């Protein structure tokens, strides 16, 4: 059992780093944002948030529409509701304890879900760099409007995620900070693998 907790704001590179770390060590990966996105998508279809969270099924995470910017905002809104967060805890903790090792990325993995994770990373970058990356990602899928709009969205989500009362986004005291503003993907991935190796994985 080995849990790698990777937290940080939207579009800092958590997903890419998490997938690469999981692949390197042969660990399973859970993008916990998808849980909140799946609940957010259900609220957009009219289901009350707490009811949606309590009834969430693994198959709900396979929906390709979950990656869009409207769902991201809906996810960040349902994520402030304590009952929604509580409904998703058991699934996440069970995943963290799986025998082959786990990498989990989100906002509160190192602080709330796995406070005793063997390795904790906090991946961040400036809001401008993150908005630019997210804009390029969305543009490639034909989903983006303008860079300015993406920046406003990123800042709104940062604000909501960092300032909520329940499990706000913040680095755990023992997390290693990786600022990817000036790093390319390979440099950021190498740094993360180095930290996780030092903590005894592999």
CB of 105 to ligand DC, least distance (A): 7
CB of 72 to ligand DC, least distance (A): 5
Compute the distance between CA of residue 2 and CA of residue 103 in angstroms, rounded to an integer: 8
For residue 104, which of 41, 182, 190, 196 has the smallest C-alpha distance? Answer: 196
Strand partners, 7: 106, 122
CB of 44 to ligand DC, least distance (A): 14
User: Would you mind telling me the total number of residues written for the chain in this entry?
Assistant: 202
| Interface with ligand DC: number of residues (CB under 6 A) | 14
For residue 37, which of 29, 45, 27 has the smallest C-alpha distance? Answer: 45
Nearer Cβ to ligand DC (29/37): 37
Nearer Cβ to ligand DC (161/193): 161
Interacting residues with ligand DC between 14 and 43 (CB under 6 A): 32-33, 36-37
CB of 67 to ligand DC, least distance (A): 8
Nearer Cβ to ligand DC (68/197): 68
Give the per-residue contact string, 43-72, with ligand DC (x = CB under 6 A; - = no): -----------------------------x
Cα distances from 118 to residues 3, 17, 127, in angstroms, run 6, 17, 29
Query: From the list 101, 106, 120, 192, which residue makes contact with ligand DC (rule: CB under 6 A)?
Result: 106
Q: How many CA atoms lie within 13 A of 166 on its CB side?
A: 13
Q: Are 96 and 84 a contacting pair, CB within 8 Å?
A: no
SS3 112: helix
Asked if 77 interacts with ligand DC (CB under 6 A), we say no
Strand partners, 178: 123
Interacting residues with ligand DC between 135 and 194 (CB under 6 A): 157, 161
Contacting residues toward ligand DC, per CB under 6 A: 10, 32-33, 36-37, 72, 75-76, 79, 106-108, 157, 161
């Amino acid at each position: 059992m080995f849990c790698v907790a990777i937290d940080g704001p939207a579009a800092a590179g958590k997903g890419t780093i998490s997938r690469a770390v999981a692949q390197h060590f042969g660990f399973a990966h859970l993008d916990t944002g998808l849980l909140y996105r799946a609940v957010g998508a259900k609220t957009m279809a009219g289901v009350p948030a707490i009811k949606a969270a309590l009834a969430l099924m693994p198959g709900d995470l396979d929906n390709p529409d979950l990656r869009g910017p409207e769902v991201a905002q809906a996810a960040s809104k349902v994520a402030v509701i304590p009952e929604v967060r509580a409904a998703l805890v058991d699934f996440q903790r069970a995943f963290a304890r799986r025998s082959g090792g786990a990498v989990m990325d989100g906002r509160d993995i190192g602080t709330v879900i796995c406070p005793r994770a063997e390795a904790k990373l906090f991946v961040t970058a400036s809001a401008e760099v993150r908005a630019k990356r997210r804009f390029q990602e969305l543009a490639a899928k034909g989903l983006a409007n303008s860079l300015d709009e993406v920046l406003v969205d990123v800042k709104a989500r940062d604000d909501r995620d960092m300032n909520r009362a329940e499990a706000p986004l913040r680095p755990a005291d023992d997390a290693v900070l990786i600022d990817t503003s000036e790093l390319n993907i390979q440099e950021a991935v190498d740094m993360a693998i180095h930290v996780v190796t030092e903590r005894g994985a592999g």
